[in-house]
Homo-oligomer: A and B are copies of this chain.
Amino acid sequence: MNVLITEDDALHRAFLKTTVENALPECDQVLEAEDGEIAMQKVATNDVFGIIMDLQMPKASGVDAAKEIWRRNPDMRILFWSNYADEAYVRGVSRIVPSGAVYGYLLKSASEERLELAVRGVFLQDQCIIDREVRGIQQRSEDTLEGLTDSEFEVLTDIALGMTDKAIARRRNISSRSVQSRLKHLYEKLCIDASDTGFEFGPVFNSRTRAVATAFSRGLLNADGLAASQESLDEWLRGPTLR
């Protein structure tokens, strides 16, 4: 029974290793990977029972790696261990977890006991253990009222990448007027009122860019998620529209 630790920070990696050795005496070997790519390799070439994975990593992010690993091995137990409970991360994880898969989502601020309990719960008892704080974000992002629709979130990432209305319309197979309609709803939910003139010479903010800014400051978007979205956009650009 081997456990893989995927974490770029050396100190955290060492800490996780000793914790696993403590909490899981049944564990034969603790493998280590310092980024998502190495993790995928190690899973492919070793008999890995479960994974503890950081979300913020260079090269392949934790979400990317988990997605690929679950694609080949839907039963893999994965315990995510992250610094933040940003909506972007929570959403990203929720999107890729296969139905029936066993996983956990713990914050690094959690105590060592909670971590040990989570390790045993996820790896030995097939429990899904989600940090309370994360759980809150998860629910909120599922509620249509509090958070954003998938459509709105989609269009938000698109404008954050700098796409024009027309390009978004093409990509999502809707009219450009619909894109604007979705944007309008997005602006409302983010409380962006272009005519809300903070000073006497007209509006201070451009709705489009302002939406991206507030989404960033609220944790709806983050650099990692944006990089991932950029990749899928590149793929789309290379794809069907290429002559």
Interface, chain A (partner B; CB < 8 A): 9, 11-12, 15, 108, 159-164, 166-167, 170, 198-214, 216-217, 222-223, 226-227, 230, 237, 241-243
Contacts and interface: CB of A to CB of B under 8 A. Distances in A.
User: Which secondary structure dominates chain A's binding surface?
Assistant: helix
A129 B15 CA distance: 29
A209 B210 contact: no
Contact of A213 (B208, B210, B226): B226
Contact of A167 (B11, B166, B205): B205
B209 A160 contact: yes
27 contacts: A9-B108, A11-B11, A11-B15, A159-B209, A161-B213, A162-B205, A162-B210, A162-B214, A164-B205, A167-B199, A167-B201, A167-B202, A167-B204, A167-B205, A170-B199, A198-B237, A199-B237, A199-B242, A200-B241, A200-B243, A204-B237, A212-B212, A213-B230, A216-B223, A216-B226, A217-B226, A217-B230
A215 to B, nearest CB: 10
Number of copies of chain A assembled together: 2
Interface centre among A164, A204, A205, A237 (most CB of B within 10 A): A204
Nearest to A112: B10
Contact of A223 (B11, B161, B206, B223): B223
B201 A170 contact: yes
A206 B204 contact: no
In the A-B complex, list the 9 residue pairs whose CB atoms are closest, starting with the nearest. A162-B210, A199-B241, A162-B209, A167-B204, A162-B213, A162-B205, A198-B237, A164-B206, A11-B11
Nearest to A111: B10
Contacts of A164: 202-206
A203 B168 CA distance: 11
Nearest to A227: B217
